[in-house]
A and B are shown apart, each in its own frame.
Chain A
Amino acid sequence: MSRASLFVPLGVFLLIVVIGFFGFRLSDPHSLPSALLGKPFPDFSAPLLDDPARLVDRSALLGAPVLVNVWATWCPTCKAEHDELLRIGAETGIRIVGVNYKDDRAQALDWLVRYGDPYEFVIEDRDGSLGVELGVYGAPETFLLDADGRVVYKHVGDINPRVWRDDFEPLLADLQDD
């Protein structure tokens, strides 16, 4: 072992500090562009949460702008955004489709009964394979799709009134104008 190796822990620590410092300082908010932006929502075939015998595919998302919300019962942030989704669904009438990500079916169904169901339907993605296709970092994430199924916007993290007002509403207004 050389003397230099003793400096490794200090180096690692300082590296974390520097990254943390610049992370806090220099970060550009919302700088996580999705590779999917502007591209069609990937093709998939997955069962419905409440009726696993039925499979849905990409065509179920076409026809009108739709929010695709990735959620799970193990995700406290999903609980936090749930009321906002209910409100958005009720007030704007936009289609909201859920992707239940790496979750337990019984718990997910129980959650929807308990906290209300903002979704037109929920796609079950038990093994996370659709999540991989979508480039999901973690739950919750929400995609805005236009009527042709192209990804217009992707939001990572919870949808709160501010995010909805600043990021989604203008885009949605554009979509509905077209």
Chain B
Amino acid sequence: MMPELGQLALALAFCLSVLVAVFGLAGAQLGRMRWMAALDSLVLGKFIFVAFAFVILTHAFLTDDFSVAYVANNSNSLLPWYYKMSAVWGAHEGSFLLLVLIMAGWTLAVALRSGELPRTFSARVLGVMGLLNIGFLAFLIFTSNPFDRLAPMTPADGADLNPLLQDFGLIVHPPMLYMGYVGFSVSFAFALAALLSRRLDSSWARWSRPWSNVAWAFLTLGIVLGSWWAYYELGWGGWWFWDPVENASFMPWLAGTALIHSLAVTEKRGTFKSWTLLLAITTFSLSLLGAFIVRSGVLTSVHAFAVDPTRGMFILAFLLVVVGGSLALYATRASVIASRVRYGFWSREAFLLINNIIFVVAMAFVLLGTLYPLAYEAVTGGDKISVGVPYFNAGFVPLMLLLAVALGALPVLQWKGTPPGRLWRDLRWMALASVTLGVGLPLLLTGALAWQACVALVVGFWILGTHLRDLWQRGRRGLGRVPLAYWGMFAAHGGFAVALFGIALTSVLSVEKDLRMVPGQTEQVVGIAITFDGVAPRQGVNFVADRGTFLIEENGHRYALHPEKRRYLAREMVMTEAAIDAGFLRDVYVSLGEPLGDGAWAVRLQVKPFVRWIWLGGLLMTLGGIIAVADARYRRLRRRAAAPAGAGAAA
């Protein structure tokens, strides 16, 4: 009975979405105040119904209702309760329900916080989001129903959640990612509303900025969590693999990063208007691509299409309508009037344009590398090919280094133009210092010179140096007077530099040893003594494990690490659970391979200096995005708008 109620709730939410779309778009077009006034309650109703369906699915998981096909395929009575909850979004159908829930939540948030906007504009925003909701809900109900029953052949127990996903990182990673994907639908809706109402001045950019920043922050956090999860859960010690699933979330991030910078220029200087609109459309289109194709399995193989053609065709049709429709609207409505704002090369505008170009090129590069194998498989009728890490690194690393060089110059640049002489005066010592530090530090610390690391360190110091110098100059009148938006930028740019340090240093300095070890054997890895103390069996809740013990002695400090080889009972799947001693300056990473007889085991020992900095940098970027939104400017905006909102409605 309960699952049927969930299905009913989804159907009702679908109907409400249709009403939201019609009342929002037609209401704004025809100027029907009462239609537009109904939007808020419709949006609230839709959220409640979707949330209800989500609660019901969660309930089905917690109560082991294996008559529901999705529960039976992705849960097991032995599963701990918190994994039963996260198993709700452990596979395609449920993760899509989560996506729809988050979408309904964002729509509600927009409805609640759009009081400052002209009523017709916010009605169009909600109407566009309603249209998207229709598509999402139709996909869920017609092709990916999480409430499908297995009755009358209810299995006695479920097939279990994929052990890879039985992990804290995976409880939080997808929701964050979806918050980002769907968050960009708000930027998209604002852009489309601007096109529909022909309000192509900078006001839509001002309204859309906080939403885009929040979406970007969530997406950043989602990607960081995903990378961190891959690092400790996949057991190889890698943190980024350029695999299609990662790329699917990375492409909207690249486009979204370009978007939030372009929005800033549009708001502050009134230029880049059409370009910003296009970026908003692109970012959301890529989010859509990412959200749709990752869990539906299309990215890993085109065969997923063959298995379930309706799903694949729906995705293609929906993408075609959303992307094609919005680009057609852009083509007919965007402004062709060249803005009168002039700027020279040594200006913030020009450098933000460089930022935009680099991010868009990087995105196109990743897109090509991700889709080429798919296209190849389709064209050849099933052959597979890997583009691989060398391709991505060859293009991506130089682009990011170039970006870093431009970023370092940004704090000194002014809008419109900066005298080159002043640039030279302000930056020459900083340039010299960053080159000295970047080359000198590795020489001093390791006695060796890896040029890749040096380049990355130099540009990292360059960014930090110029930003700190700028902060110091602004802060002389009191750090309290530095606006939060500036702190946000400072944190995000600093985070970029920190991540750069982490990536460069861990790539160059990591030491990895694959060994056969017998109990009692001691190995030295860069001065850290690691002694293998044998393997003992351990019984987990839903798995049995071989639990290794490694005694580590590092600079007189002793501790033990326990990597495991787990066999999950329901799926008969073997998983490597690495043991990590995490540290600010280095990680010690031990993973257990295969038993080699006579008590000996294949063992992988790794020392990875500065690997945490990669995620630390990502967290700083996330923090920067959030801080920027908290800026007083936006609160002022709301207060100012609160009074005339009623007057605007009457007019």
Using CB atoms and an 8 Å cutoff, list the residues of chain A in contact with chain B.
1-3, 5-7, 9-10, 13-14, 17, 20, 23-24, 27, 29-32, 72, 74-78, 80, 102, 110, 114, 137-140, 155-158, 163
Contact = CB atoms under 8 A, between A and B. Distances in A.
A167 B125 CA distance: 56
B601 to A, nearest CB: 13
Interface stretch (B326-334, B400-408, B522-530, B581-589): B326-334
B324 A3 contact: no
The 9 closest A-B pairs by CB, nearest first: A157-B383, A29-B381, A10-B327, A75-B386, A27-B379, A7-B331, A74-B389, A77-B386, A74-B388
B327 A77 contact: no
Contacts of B379: 23, 27, 29, 31
A77 B386 CA distance: 6
Contacts of A140: 385-386
Given A139-B386, A140-B386, 17 more contacts: A1-B338, A3-B336, A6-B330, A9-B281, A9-B331, A13-B324, A14-B324, A23-B375, A23-B379, A30-B383, A76-B243, A76-B386, A77-B386, A156-B376, A157-B376, A158-B384, A163-B383
Contacts of B330: 6, 9-10
A78 B377 CA distance: 15
Q: Which of A9, A29, A80, A114 has the most CB of B within 10 A?
A: A9
Contacts of B602: 114
A2 B336 contact: yes
How big is chain B's contact interface, by range?
A: 35 or more
Contact of A138 (B274, B382, B385): B385
B109 interface: no
B328 A10 contact: yes
B119 to A, nearest CB: 28
B385 A6 contact: no
B347 to A, nearest CB: 20
A27 B386 contact: no
B507 to A, nearest CB: 12
B188 to A, nearest CB: 14
A69 to B, nearest CB: 14
A158 to B, nearest CB: 5
Nearest to A9: B327
Interface string B427-443: 00000000000000000
Contacts of A72: 388
Nearest to B323: A13
A30 B323 contact: no
B514 interface: yes
Contacts of A9: 278, 281, 327, 330-331
B90 to A, nearest CB: 22
27 contacts: A6-B334, A6-B336, A7-B331, A10-B331, A13-B323, A13-B327, A23-B379, A27-B381, A29-B382, A30-B380, A31-B379, A74-B386, A74-B388, A74-B389, A76-B243, A76-B386, A77-B386, A114-B514, A137-B376, A137-B385, A138-B385, A139-B388, A140-B386, A156-B380, A156-B383, A156-B385, A158-B384
A107 B159 CA distance: 36
A13 B390 CA distance: 28
B384 A80 contact: yes
B294 to A, nearest CB: 16
Contacts of A137: 376, 385
A6 B331 contact: yes
B274 A6 contact: yes
